[in-house]
Amino acid sequence: MEALRARGRRLRALIRRRRREERDRRDGKNERSARPDSRAKAVHVGEIYGFVGAITTSVFAAVYFFWAYTPERVLHALGIHYYPSKYWALTLPVWLSALAVSAFFAYEAYNLAASPPLHSVLQVRDEHSRFRADLTAEQRKMPVLYDIPLAEVNERIFGNGGGDGGGGAGKRRRWRITVS
């Protein structure tokens, strides 16, 4: 088995080499100029953007911490006279942190507002849903997987709201799925 794998790897390497040589012949490159290019690792644009972003972020963080922690008399001694108030050194991070935390709650509130109510058909049915009523007589002969309607699930878990005052949450109900 290992011999077959090794043979497959050699064959794929041969095919890649021939395709590369054919491409270089079409582009007018000779074999010597093609060799260094084929060994060089291609740099993706995302890697360049990531590198520039990391350097830029580091520089801005260094400038921010220098400005935030350096006393004003030292800044004036260095010839730096135009800078924002030190009030913003604390206010800006607090506001950004509060914005980030509130964004989670706003996102959840938006999802709750955008979702249909529990009794809506849009909540539980789509083009891939299969309910027992949708199955043909031929499909009902053999047990198949199908979706249980949400109203039935709520009824079995929580009950109909009578008796215990808590919607039936105190009672344990057993699932009994029958195939007919």
Interval 14-58: pLDDT, tens: 888 888 888 888 877 655 554 555 566 788 899 999 999 999 999
Provide the pLDDT for residue 35: 54
User: Percent of the chain having pLDDT more than 70?
Assistant: 73
In this structure, are residues 124 and 147 in contact, taking their beta carbons and an 8 Å threshold? yes
| Phi, psi (deg, nearest 5) at residue 72 | -65, -35
Question: 67 near 81, Cβ under 8 Å?
Answer: no
Q: Which string of DSSP letters, residue by residue, matches 31-56?
A: HHHHHHHHHSPPPPHHHHHHHHHHHH
For the segment 134-150, the average pLDDT, to the nearest whole number, is: 71
> Over the stretch 79-110, which tens digit does the pLDDT of each residue have?
999 888 889 999 999 999 999 999 999 999 99
| Weakest-pLDDT range from 1-15, 31-45, 64-78 | 31-45
Residue 140: name the closest of 131, 148, 149 by CA: 131
**Confidence check: pLDDT of 1 > 90:** no
pLDDT at 126 over 50: yes
CA distance 176 to 11: 58
More confident residue, 99 or 112: 99
Mean pLDDT for 149-164 is 72
Output the pLDDT for position 97. Answer: 97
Q: Sorting pLDDT into bands at 50, 70 and 90, what band is 163?
A: very low
In whole angstroms, what is the distance from residue 148 CA to residue 175 CA?
12
- 3-state DSSP assignment of residue 131: strand
